């Protein structure tokens, strides 16, 4: 499914264009603010190829991995989702999400405000940390103009944060972002700042002297007030004069009120927030970093880590360093990466190995969602290993008093963010904490995690175009003709191959699709593993290993056939784990096969389980409740005829 199709299908499943109030994205997720949270079909969304997971919280989040930017761009072409601000004259108030609690609305607002700022702050912050690293080792002249100009590039982003925040708040509130930014620019206007230092008054009211450079909360409060003013004057202004009257009156009331009240309140709010976290760090000690790091898999999975972004931004911009969240993230990100590499080493599943390696690399560079949703939350022992490693590594970083200076997800690539120009050992201690987290997670996962005997179904591989019908193996007559007098009335069949079950009639081979070989089960495999669906005995393994025959306890006979026309592969990519005469239990691994190589060779990888003695038995599909318990179908005897 290409990006256009994926975007269209996601939009359809979340309730259509009319249900999307606002759309944003982060590194791997599409973040929706919806008018009605009851409209999305979550289960249908999870089945869309390309969707890794769906998270319902303050925002409705659809995880699509590293293709998020391309999918987001395609969705923007499908409708106006609040990504761009409108002019005051044409501003229309967005519908409010129904039934959301105040906390959820607040979190949604904060995410919408700070998420667009992350790229600029991350780029500027990493540049700043690299310059500090070069200066610490004496590789550049700190007094040279080249060095100073490069530091100005980084510093300007943080200095003008009040204006940048005004733009994102206005976009979130769907008001005129240019006028909103103009209103907040007064906070940094040189003549205004000079007057405040000398003692300024407005209508005999004293203006508090506050340095608003790099502040975020004063601007947030100021634009919130501006939004109400714009909407008020939009309602009461005569249409012929709206073009100048609305912005003029909004500026006239917003700027003085921000200087007198909202600015000082916002500055104090930011100070108290930072002080509260520092108080926690001072009294709970270095263990606080370890505890937070251990909880991050759950916090990130629900999107709640975004609620801490205002604190991190305020702490970095006011004190230059943050000692809780950024070190905790460093320990978590490297623990996720190491656990994925450990899974890749231990697993025999080529599909899982490929996912683990790619997720491990992404996590190493600060993007943990693929690892989190694809590996960690799916495997309890991996999750336990990561949490223990996070606590160990996070506690070590807390004990070392390592602080980050950049608002970006810590990673191997951004390790320079922990450079402290006043203490050259901090970068070495950060690397030590990184290694502790990585090694602990890797060893713990190797020890604790064991591959499940029957993994859950996952996203199916795409099927290639139909190929000519395969040369089917012939089951020996001795196998097909064997009878049993005491056949059980019902035999439960579990899903033999992880993947997506399709109708046998949809298989692109007439011998199978018409039922000529017998009734059965077809699965588009997501992993190259065949498991015994019930207890029985292996009767035959075919020379090319792409098929085998099994007799279930009670006499039903099954033929397992992997792929269409795959006999032409002459056994390449197939590895049978059993031999003729072996006794097997439900869930035992019978065969592994390389799905990717089958597809690459131009063959359909569909896995077939066919009941060959159809004159004595038939296959009945399980009910939904039974399917939820892992039972895919039942084999029942054909009633005897008189």
More confident site: 375 or 394: 394
Q: What local confidence, expressed as pLDDT, does residue 478 receive?
A: 36
Residue 472 has pLDDT above 50, yes or no: no
Q: What local confidence, expressed as pLDDT, does residue 452 receive?
A: 61
Average pLDDT rounded to a whole number, residues 245-251: 94
Average pLDDT rounded to a whole number, residues 238-255: 91
Which one of 448, 463, 487 terminates a domain? Answer: 448
Based on the residue annotation, tell me whether 576 is a catalytic residue of this protein.
no
* 269 and 148 assigned to the same domain: yes
Task: Tell me the sheet residues that pair with 465.
Answer: none
Collapsing DSSP to helix, strand or coil, 110 comes out as helix
Concatenate the DSSP letters of all residues of 10-36 into one string: HHHHTT-GGGEEEEEE-SSEEEEEES-
Phi/psi for 606 (5° steps) reads -55, 135
* 155 and 56 assigned to the same domain: no
Q: Is residue 587 part of a domain?
A: yes
Q: What local confidence, expressed as pLDDT, does residue 501 receive?
A: 81
Residue 466 has pLDDT above 50, yes or no: no
Q: What is the pLDDT of residues 32-60, one digit of tens each?
A: 888 888 889 988 898 888 887 787 766 78
Which one of 49, 83, 117 terminates a domain? Answer: 83
* 550 and 509 assigned to the same domain: yes
Collapsing DSSP to helix, strand or coil, 423 comes out as strand
Residue 613 has pLDDT above 70, yes or no: yes
Kindly report the CATH number assigned to the domain that includes residue 546: 2.70.70.10
Determine the Cα angle at 321 with ends 397 and 433, to 5°: 15
Q: Using alpha carbons, select from 182, 163, 313, 170 the residue that is nearest to residue 248.
A: 182
Q: Is residue 107 part of a domain?
A: yes
* 375 and 400 assigned to the same domain: yes
Q: Is residue 94 part of a domain?
A: no
* 117 and 266 assigned to the same domain: yes
The number of C-alpha atoms within 13 Å of 523 and in the hemisphere containing its C-beta is 29
- Helix 145-159 and helix 118-136: axis angle, to 10°? 150
Domain total of the chain? 4
Q: What local confidence, expressed as pLDDT, does residue 97 receive?
A: 46
Residue 2 has pLDDT above 90, yes or no: no
Concatenate the DSSP letters of all residues of 393-409 into one string: HHHHHHHTT--B-SSS-
User: Which run of H or E residues covers position 576?
Assistant: strand 574-576
* 380 and 441 assigned to the same domain: yes
Instruction: Please state, in angstroms and rounded to a whole number, the distance separating the CA atoms of residues 126 and 342.
Output: 29
Q: What is the pLDDT of residues 515-553, one digit of tens each?
A: 766 788 888 888 889 999 999 999 888 878 888 989 888
* 270 and 290 assigned to the same domain: no
Residue 481 has pLDDT above 50, yes or no: no
Determine the Cα angle at 15 with ends 13 and 19, to 5°: 145
Structural domain boundaries enclosing 401 = 285-448
* 291 and 230 assigned to the same domain: no
* 337 and 484 assigned to the same domain: no
Helices (H), 55-201: 68-78, 102-114, 118-136, 145-159, 161-173, 177-185, 190-198
Phi/psi for 108 (5° steps) reads -60, -40
Which one of 275, 295, 330 terminates a domain? Answer: 275
Q: Is residue 280 part of a domain?
A: no
pLDDT bucket at 627, cuts 50 / 70 / 90: low
The number of C-alpha atoms within 13 Å of 283 and in the hemisphere containing its C-beta is 6
Radius of gyration of the chain from its Cα atoms, rounded to whole angstroms: 31
Q: What local confidence, expressed as pLDDT, does residue 639 receive?
A: 61
Q: What local confidence, expressed as pLDDT, does residue 72 receive?
A: 86
Q: What is the pLDDT of residues 66-88, one digit of tens each?
A: 677 788 888 888 876 654 433 33
**What sign has the CA pseudo-torsion 543, 546, 552, 555?**
negative
Q: Is residue 615 part of a domain?
A: yes
Q: What local confidence, expressed as pLDDT, does residue 214 receive?
A: 84
Phi/psi for 303 (5° steps) reads 80, 5
Instruction: Please state, in angstroms and rounded to a whole number, the distance separating the CA atoms of residues 478 and 282.
Output: 78
Whats the size of the chain, residue-wise? Answer: 642
More confident site: 399 or 279: 399
CB-CB contact of 480 with 574 (8 Å): no
* 63 and 140 assigned to the same domain: no
Phi/psi for 547 (5° steps) reads -150, 155
Q: Is residue 469 part of a domain?
A: no
* 424 and 566 assigned to the same domain: no
Task: Tell me the sheet residues that pair with 322.
Answer: 404
Q: Is residue 186 part of a domain?
A: yes
Among residues 26, 340, 390, 576, the one annotated as catalytic is: 26
Task: Tell me the sheet residues that pair with 560.
Answer: 548, 609
The number of C-alpha atoms within 13 Å of 621 and in the hemisphere containing its C-beta is 8
Q: What local confidence, expressed as pLDDT, does residue 195 receive?
A: 94
Q: What local confidence, expressed as pLDDT, does residue 104 receive?
A: 65
* 290 and 231 assigned to the same domain: no
Instruction: Please state, in angstroms and rounded to a whole number, the distance separating the CA atoms of residues 493 and 155.
Output: 64
Residue 371 has pLDDT above 60, yes or no: yes
Q: How many CB atoms lie within 10 A of CB 502?
A: 15
More confident site: 582 or 637: 582
The number of C-alpha atoms within 13 Å of 450 and in the hemisphere containing its C-beta is 1
Q: What is the pLDDT of residues 6-20, one digit of tens each?
A: 988 999 899 888 888
Average pLDDT rounded to a whole number, residues 298-308: 72
Q: Is residue 366 part of a domain?
A: yes
Instruction: Please state, in angstroms and rounded to a whole number, the distance separating the CA atoms of residues 184 and 460.
Output: 51
Q: What is the pLDDT of residues 79-116, one digit of tens each?
A: 766 544 333 333 334 444 445 556 667 767 877 788 78
Residue 321 has pLDDT above 90, yes or no: no
pLDDT bucket at 302, cuts 50 / 70 / 90: low
More confident site: 483 or 338: 338
Please state, for a pLDDT cut of 70, what percent of the chain lies above it.
84
Instruction: Please state, in angstroms and rounded to a whole number, the distance separating the CA atoms of residues 543 and 50.
Output: 37
Collapsing DSSP to helix, strand or coil, 558 comes out as strand
Q: What local confidence, expressed as pLDDT, does residue 202 receive?
A: 93
Kindly report the CATH number assigned to the domain that includes residue 75: 3.30.1360.60
Average pLDDT, the chain: 81
Q: What is the pLDDT of residues 341-367, one digit of tens each?
A: 999 999 888 778 887 888 888 888 887
Average pLDDT rounded to a whole number, residues 605-612: 88
Residue 470 has pLDDT above 50, yes or no: no
Average pLDDT rounded to a whole number, residues 175-200: 93
């Amino acid at each position: 499914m290409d990006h256009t199709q994926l975007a269209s299908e996601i939009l359809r499943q979340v309730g259509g264009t009319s249900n999307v109030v606002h759309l944003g994205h982060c590194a791997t997720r599409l973040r929706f603010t919806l008018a009605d949270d009851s409209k999305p079909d979550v289960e249908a969304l999870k089945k869309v190829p390309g969707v890794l997971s769906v998270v319902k919280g303050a925002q409705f989040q659809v995880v699509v991995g590293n293709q998020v930017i391309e999918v987001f761009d395609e969705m923007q072409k499908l409708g106006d989702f609040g990504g761009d601000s409108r002019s005051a004259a044409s501003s229309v108030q967005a519908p409010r999400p129904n039934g959301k609690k105040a906390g959820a609305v607040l979190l949604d607002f904060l995410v919408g405000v700070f998420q667009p700022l992350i790229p600029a702050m991350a780029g500027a912050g990493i540049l700043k940390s690299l310059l500090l690293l070069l200066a610490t080792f004496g590789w550049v002249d700190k007094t040279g103009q080249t060095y100073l100009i490069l530091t100005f590039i980084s510093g300007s982003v943080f200095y003008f944060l009040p204006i940048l925040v005004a733009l994102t708040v206005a976009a979130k509130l769907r008001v005129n972002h240019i006028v909103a930014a103009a209103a907040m620019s007064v906070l940094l206007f040189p003549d205004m700042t000079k007057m405040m230092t000398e003692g300024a008054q407005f209508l005999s009211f004293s203006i508090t002297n506050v340095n608003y450079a790099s502040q975020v909360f004063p601007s947030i409060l100021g634009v919130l007030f501006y939004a109400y003013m714009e909407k008020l004057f939009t309602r009461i202004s005569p249409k012929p004069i709206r073009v100048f009257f609305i912005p003029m009156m909004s500026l006239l009331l917003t700027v003085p009120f921000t200087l007198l009240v909202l600015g000082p309140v916002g500055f104090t709010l930011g100070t108290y927030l930072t002080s509260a976290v520092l108080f926690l760090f001072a009294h709970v000690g270095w263990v606080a970093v370890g505890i937070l790091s251990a909880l991050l898999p759950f916090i990130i999975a629900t999107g709640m880590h975004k609620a801490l972004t205002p604190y991190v931004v305020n702490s970095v911009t006011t004190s230059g360093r943050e000692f809780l969240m950024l070190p905790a993230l460093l320990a978590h990100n490297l623990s996720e990466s190491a656990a994925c590499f450990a899974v890749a080493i231990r697993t025999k599943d080529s599909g899982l190995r490929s996912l683990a390696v790619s997720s491990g690399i992404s996590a190493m560079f600060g993007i943990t969602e693929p690892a989190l949703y694809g590996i960690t939350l799916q495997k309890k022992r991996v999750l336990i290993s990561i949490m223990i490693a996070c606590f160990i590594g996070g506690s070590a970083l807390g004990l070392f008093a390592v602080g980050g200076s950049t608002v970006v997800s810590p990673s191997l690539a951004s390790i320079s963010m922990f450079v402290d120009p006043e203490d050259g050992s901090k970068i070495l201690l950060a690397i030590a904490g990184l290694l502790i987290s990585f090694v602990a997670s890797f060893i713990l996962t190797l020890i604790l995690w064991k591959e499940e005997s029957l993994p859950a179904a996952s996203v199916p591989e795409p099927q290639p175009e139909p190929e000519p019908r395969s040369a089917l193996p012939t089951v020996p007559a001795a196998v097909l003709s064997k009878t049993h007098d005491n056949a059980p009335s019902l035999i439960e069949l579990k899903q033999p191959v992880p993947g997506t079950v399709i109708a046998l009639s949809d298989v692109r081979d007439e011998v199978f699709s018409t039922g000529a070989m017998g009734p059965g089960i077809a699965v588009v495999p997501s992993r190259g593993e065949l498991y015994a669906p019930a207890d029985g005995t292996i009767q035959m393994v075919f020379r090319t290993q792409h098929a085998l025959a099994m007799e279930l306890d009670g006499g039903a006979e099954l033929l397992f056939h992997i792929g269409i026309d795959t006999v032409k592969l002459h056994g390449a990519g197939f590895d049978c784990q059993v031999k003729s005469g072996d006794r097997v239990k439900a869930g035992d691994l019978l065969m592994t096969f390389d799905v990717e190589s089958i597809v690459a060779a131009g063959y359909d990888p569909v896995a077939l389980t066919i009941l060959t003695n159809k004159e004595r038995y038939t296959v009945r599909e399980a009910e939904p409740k039974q399917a939820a318990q892992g039972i895919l179908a039942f084999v029942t005897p054909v009633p005897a005829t008189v």
